[in-house]
Amino acid sequence: MLGKSIIGMKNFSVEEIRLVLNAARKMKQIIKRGGDKKLSNLRGKAIVNLFYEPSTRTRTSFELAGKYLGADVVSINSGTSSIVKGESLRDTLKTIEAMGVDAIVMRHKAEGAADYATQVVKPMIINAGDGAHAHPSQALLDLFTIEQHKGRLAGLKVAIVGDILHSRVARSDVYAMTKMGMEVHLAGPKTLLPRFFKFDGVKVHEDIEHAITGADVINVLRIQLERQQAGLFPSTREYARAFGINNERLRLAAEDVLILHPGPQNKGLEISSEVTYCERSAIQEQVQNGVAVRMALLDLTLNGGVK
Ligand code: NCD
């Protein structure tokens, strides 16, 4: 994977997914052992985080992942850079390239922005979310979290619930999970489901009950109010009643169902507090796994992995 830009899960092979998951396991040990976490794998490498959309988890975990591996990492916030003066994406990328960086981790509201970046600059590009298109590192950390709990991926039933239409997480999960042999069920209000969706290994439901019955994993998506057009979304009360994940609904799922949510959560809307904090929830653990998976990705692409 050395030198490979990471744009989406569509072009990831099963072998590459395995490489990342195996490397992430080792990285997680390093994070968990405490004490000195600083490795030298990426010493002398420079990484810029370029985020045009808000982020807490993804940006911080990419930053820490780079730092734990010994790279120099700088985060650019669109609100305090020349982006507010109207500098174009192309010019911003060229400016960062001129400073001699090795990788740019990028989040942008436009679908295709990360792929476009690979065409205009030489540093490796890692897509940290482009509009509703893709969010590969999130899909990889979802797989990692599931495998840590279930000991396998193939054959598991996963329900992805909520605002599928606007979700780059759902898109990347669908590619990643079906490649690993999982059975994927998507559920949400009709207006928030993709209209013409045909994908081997994926079923789409307009009600939640069919999707979550017997599910081994439920991935609850955030209702992305910032991406909604008028009329797509029922009232919040109606949504919570019809699709919200609460204790009562969980009874339909497998007894040891694992609850995921990429965060940030709208508590009381797509998920209840009791579910977020219940013992079957791995939401907090996803955050730690996010650092490990991003360390693995950076090490494999910038360094070729542990030799
Ligand atoms: C997701 C994102 O930004 O796509 N969050 C994340 O990266 N943890 C999901 C979301 O914003 O709902």
Mean pLDDT, range 295-306, rounded to an integer: 94
CB 42 within 8 A of CB 299: yes
Is 107 an annotated catalytic residue? yes
pLDDT tops 60 at residue 307: no
Shortest-distance atom of ligand 1 to CA 135: 4
Query: Model-level pTM?
Result: 0.96
Of 98-112, 222-236, 263-277, the least confident: 222-236
**What is the fold, at CATH topology level, of the domain defined by 136-286?**
Rossmann fold (3.40.50)
The proportion of the chain whose per-residue pLDDT surpasses 70, expressed as a percent, equals: 97
Look up the CATH superfamily of 9-133+287-303. Aspartate/ornithine carbamoyltransferase (3.40.50.1370)
Closest CA relative to residue 157, chosen from 148, 167, 146: 146
Give the rounded distance of the alpha carbon of 204 from its chain centre.
21
Q: pLDDT > 90: what percent of the chain?
A: 83
- Please indicate whether residue 169, judged by its CB atom, sits closer than 6 Å to ligand 1: yes
Are the C-beta atoms of residues 217 and 159 closer than 8 Å to each other? yes
Rg (CA), the chain: 19
Give yes or no for a contact between 57 and 65, defined as CB atoms under 8 angstroms apart: no
**Distance separating alpha carbons of residues 30 and 24, to the nearest angstrom:** 10
Contact 250, 217 (CB under 8 A): no
Q: Using an 8 Å Cβ cutoff, are 158 and 39 in contact?
A: no
Catalytic residue among 28, 108, 133, 135: 135
The yes-or-no answer on residue 135 being catalytic is yes
Helix (DSSP H) and strand (DSSP E) numbers for the chain? 11, 9
Q: Ligand 1 mean position to 168 CA, how many Å?
A: 8
pLDDT at position 227 = 72
Return the DSSP state at 123: S
> 104: which 2 tokens?
């740019």
CA distance 47 to 140: 20
Placement of tokens 């099963």 in the chain = 14
The neighbouring-strand residues paired with 72 are 46
Nearest 5°: phi and psi at 281? -85, 130
SS3 of residue 92 by DSSP: helix
**Closest Cα partner for 212 from 168, 244, 173?**
244
pLDDT at 31 over 70: yes
Q: Which two tokens stand for residue 71?
A: 């790279």
Whole-number mean pLDDT of the chain? 94
Mean pLDDT of the region 19-37: 92
How deeply is 235 buried, as exposed, middle or buried, from its count of CB atoms within 10 A (0-12, 13-18, 19+)?
exposed
The model's confidence at residue 201, banded by pLDDT at 50, 70 and 90, is confident
Q: How far is the CA of 44 from the centre of ligand 1 (A)?
A: 30
Q: Which residues contact 31 (CB under 8 A, 6 or more apart)?
A: 37, 68, 288, 291, 292, 295
pLDDT band at 18 (very low <50, low <70, confident <90, very high): very high
57 catalytic per annotation = yes
156, pLDDT greater than 80: yes
Q: How far is the CA of 67 from the centre of ligand 1 (A)?
A: 22
83-98 mean pLDDT: 92
- Give pLDDT, residue 81: 79
Q: Is 190 a catalytic residue?
A: no
Q: What is the pLDDT of residue 230?
A: 65
Residue 224 CB less than 6 A away from ligand 1 = yes
Domain with CATH 3.40.50.1370 in the chain: 9-133+287-303, 136-286
Residue 134: burial class (beta carbons within 10 Å; 0-12, 13-18, 19+): buried
- Confidence class for position 77, pLDDT limits 50, 70, 90: confident
How large is the angle between the packed helices 136-150 and 283-303, nearest 10 degrees?
120
Residue in 281, 262, 301, 306 with CA at minimum distance from that of residue 30: 306
